[in-house]
């Protein structure tokens, strides 16, 4: 299924609406649902939407999912998903929380080198933006 | 005085008008400036006020009502009274008719205009009032509406509705179900 057919799909619209609603849902449980269901989806577009929704929440928990987790957000296997997440991070009005998490990820010993490298690159981009 | 003598006197008066002309003030006659001042038609509907006041100064003498009627009949029967008299009568009749018509027309016009104006005013005011009240009600309704509902599309409305649900108990099952359906669609297309 190509991208246009996907966007016109009724179920895709339904998934999109649910993910968007979780992005603005005030309950902290929304992050857990997005992480558990959205970021683990086999569909790139769903993972992309989920990562963007997590960035838009701009909370410690939600940003940690897309920055410090292997295979999710900026560390996703799909370049499109990773780049979209980075673009969303750069679009944040208040980048304070994201910068904190990026610095923690870079300086922390408990993360993969690949994750740290991605965090370093994104931090450099955010500092320039 | 016999009737014949009276008629003779009257004839004398008619045909020697300059001798008997007299300025007569009339209060009830609107055509006082006309030829009736010669008192030819004494049996006319217009009666001189002066004649009432001074009975002695009548150049026809103390004529009784019956005599007057006879004279009027006599005068009316004369065919050679002259164009002046006939024209005067015609003019007066025409004037009276035109006055009457003018007055009637004016009255009708006034009535028409008056009723029209009242009608238009009332209806116009009513319709304007209704329109104003209608628009005011519409405005009130629009203002009392939730402003976001004017701009929110169905997609946004659904998102707002979903965002108020519990993520674990309500949203998660829905997301799982929708994702499963989407994956099934993708498999079908592939």
How far apart (Å, rounded) are the C-alpha atoms in residues B27 and B13?
24
Of residues A120 and B116, more confidence is placed in A120
Q: Give the pLDDT score at B62.
A: 58
Question: Of the candidates A35, A71, A32, which has an alpha carbon nearest to the alpha carbon of residue A50?
Answer: A35
Q: Give the pLDDT score at B188.
A: 83
CB within 8 Å of chain B, chain A residues 42-61: 42-43, 46
Residues in Cβ contact with A123 at an 8 Å cutoff, skipping those fewer than 6 apart: A99, A102, A103, A106
Q: Give the pLDDT score at B61.
A: 55
Write down which residue in B128, B145, B162 finishes a domain.
B145
Question: Of the candidates B18, B28, B17, which has an alpha carbon nearest to the alpha carbon of residue B52?
Answer: B28
The range of the structural domain enclosing residue B46 comes to: 3-81
Selection from A89-103, B75-89, B98-112, B176-190 with the highest mean pLDDT: A89-103
Our count of domains for chain B comes to 3
Q: Is the pLDDT of residue B65 over 80?
A: no
Q: What is the pTM of this model?
A: 0.54
Give the mean pLDDT of B74-80: 54
Write down which residue in B62, B81, B100 finishes a domain.
B81
Our count of domains for chain A comes to 1
The answer on B141 and B102 residing in a single domain is yes
Q: By the 8 A CB rule, do A26 and B175 touch?
A: no
Tell me which chain A residues have a C-beta less than 8 angstroms from the C-beta of B174: 14, 18
Q: Give the pLDDT score at A56.
A: 97
The answer on B134 and B160 residing in a single domain is no
The range of the structural domain enclosing residue A28 comes to: 3-128
ipTM of the complex: 0.91
Tell me which chain A residues have a C-beta less than 8 angstroms from the C-beta of B163: 21-22, 24-25
Of residues A6 and B34, more confidence is placed in A6
Q: What are the pLDDT tens digits along chain A (129 aa)?
A: 677 777 788 999 999 999 999 999 999 999 999 999 999 999 999 999 999 999 999 999 999 999 999 999 999 999 999 999 999 999 999 999 999 999 999 999 889 999 999 999 999 999 988
Of residues B168 and B46, more confidence is placed in B168
Q: Is the pLDDT of residue B112 over 90?
A: no
Confidence of residue B134 (pLDDT cuts 50, 70, 90): low
Whether residues B172 and A33 touch (CB distance < 8 A) is answered with yes
Which of B158, B163, B190 is closest, CB to CB, to A25?
B163
| Measured torsion, CA atoms of residues B128, B134, B137, B138, in degrees rounded to the nearest 10 | -120
Write down which residue in B81, B107, B124 finishes a domain.
B81
The answer on B89 and B32 residing in a single domain is no
Chain B residues contacting A via beta carbons under 8 Å:
155, 158-168, 171-172, 174-176, 178-179, 181-183, 185-186, 189-190
A20-24, B8-12, B61-65 — which is least confidently predicted?
B61-65
The answer on B120 and B104 residing in a single domain is yes
pLDDT in tens, B14-33: 666 555 555 555 555 555 55
Q: Is the pLDDT of residue B161 over 80?
A: yes
């Amino acid at each position: 299924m190509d991208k246009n057919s996907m966007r016109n799909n009724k179920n895709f619209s339904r998934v999109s609406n649910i993910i968007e609603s979780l992005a603005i849902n005030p309950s902290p449980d929304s992050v857990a649902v997005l992480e558990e269901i959205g970021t683990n989806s086999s569909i790139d577009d769903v993972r992309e939407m989920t990562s963007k929704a997590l960035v838009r929440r701009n909370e410690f928990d939600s940003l940690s999912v897309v920055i410090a987790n292997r295979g999710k957000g900026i560390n996703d296997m799909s370049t499109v998903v990773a780049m979209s997440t980075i673009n969303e991070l750069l679009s944040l009005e208040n980048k304070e929380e994201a910068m904190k998490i990026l610095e923690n990820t870079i300086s922390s010993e408990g993360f993969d080198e690949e994750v740290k490298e991605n965090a370093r690159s994104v931090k450099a981009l955010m500092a320039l933006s | 005085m016999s009737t014949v003598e009276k008629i003779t006197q009257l004839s004398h008066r008619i045909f020697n008008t300059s001798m008997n002309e007299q300025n007569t003030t009339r209060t009830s006659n609107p055509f006082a400036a006309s030829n009736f001042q010669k008192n030819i038609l004494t049996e006319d509907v217009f009666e001189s006020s002066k004649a009432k006041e001074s009975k002695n100064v009548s150049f026809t003498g103390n004529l009784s009502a019956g005599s007057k009627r006879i004279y009027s009949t006599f005068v009316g029967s004369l065919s050679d009274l002259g164009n002046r008299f006939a024209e005067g009568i015609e003019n007066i009749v025409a004037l009276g008719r035109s006055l009457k018509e003018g007055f009637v027309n004016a009255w009708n016009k006034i009535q028409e205009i008056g009723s029209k104006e009242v009608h238009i005013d009332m209806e116009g005011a009513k319709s304007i009032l209704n329109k104003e009240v209608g628009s005011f009600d519409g405005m009130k309704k629009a203002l009392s509406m939730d402003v976001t509902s004017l701009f929110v599309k169905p997609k946004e409305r659904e998102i707002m509705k979903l965002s108020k649900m519990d993520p674990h108990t309500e949203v998660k099952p829905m997301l799982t179900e929708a994702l499963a359906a989407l994956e099934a669609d993708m498999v079908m297309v592939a």
